[in-house]
Amino acid sequence: MTMNLYPDEPNQERKEETFEDDSEESAFMKGFNEESEDPVCDECGRAIQEKPIIVEIEGEKHKFCSSDCKEDFEESIS
């Protein structure tokens, strides 16, 4: 199907734009990918979905999902 994008110029017909990725899934993934990512626990590697425990150790900030992970991390570096 073609559309006349320039009604005053009948010879300027162009094809209607279609997008192959107009599915609900691609729209969802676009929104998902644009959201910020959850921080990751520095001990276990899991995504931290609640408020992280943040501790500065040797001048670096580390984020943990639980006090157990924080303690395990501190033990592993001492």
| 11 DSSP assignment | T
* 48, 63 Cβ separation under 8 angstroms: yes
Q: List the chain domain ranges.
A: 39-78
| Model confidence pLDDT, tens digit, residues 6-65 | 566 555 555 554 445 556 776 666 655 555 678 999 999 999 999 999 999 999 999 999
Quick one: pLDDT band at residue 78, thresholds 50, 70, 90?
confident
* pTM across the whole model: 0.52
Going by C-alpha positions, the residue among 13, 12, 9, 29 that lies closest to residue 21 is 29
The CA distance from 77 to 73, in Å, is 7
